[in-house]
Amino acid sequence: MMRIKNFSPLTEATYYILLSLLQPLHGYGIMKKVETMSEGRVKLAAGTLYGALSKLSQHKLIESVGADAENPKRKLYRITVSGQELLRYEVDRLGEMYDNGLQEMGYERSTTPT
């Protein structure tokens, strides 16, 4: 079994790429989904995206699942079981950081800081 902790912490770009690949997507679809999920804050350049996809594929955290039916030149990717384990680990890690931050700052989870 892969040592998931070896890949953590994820960069924000990698986190969003993995999150976007819970459903199969091609590169351009990943870029748009990441931009939408982050409300425009994270915009992936093609070089950043394809470098990350290559690294994630190499470590078997994502896999190619064929071509897009509408445009066969576009390769589709999806997250693997190991990638999902890493994503769960990272969400738990970030949640712990968030909860600790709120606690130390005197906020409750439902409280919105002003």
Summarize pLDDT for 76-104 with one digit per residue, the tens.
999 999 999 999 999 999 999 999 999 99
Average pLDDT, the chain: 92
Angle at 15 between CA 14 and CA 20, to 5 degrees: 95
Considering only CA atoms, which of 13, 69, 71 is closest in space to residue 42? Answer: 13
Residue 45: inside a domain? yes
Residue 30: inside a domain? yes
Domain that residue 99 falls in: 8-105
Domain count, the chain: 1
Helices (H) and strands (E) in the chain, counts: 4, 3
Residues 6+ apart with CB under 8 A from 4: 82, 85, 86, 89
3-state secondary structure (DSSP) of residue 74: coil
Residue 34: inside a domain? yes
Give pLDDT, residue 4.
85
Instruction: Tell me the pTM.
Output: 0.88
Residue 92: inside a domain? yes
Given a contact cutoff of 8 angstroms between Cβ atoms, the answer to whether 61 and 82 are in contact is yes
Laid out side by side, the sheet with 25-26 consists of 25-26, 75-79, 62-67
Percent of the chain with pLDDT over 70: 93
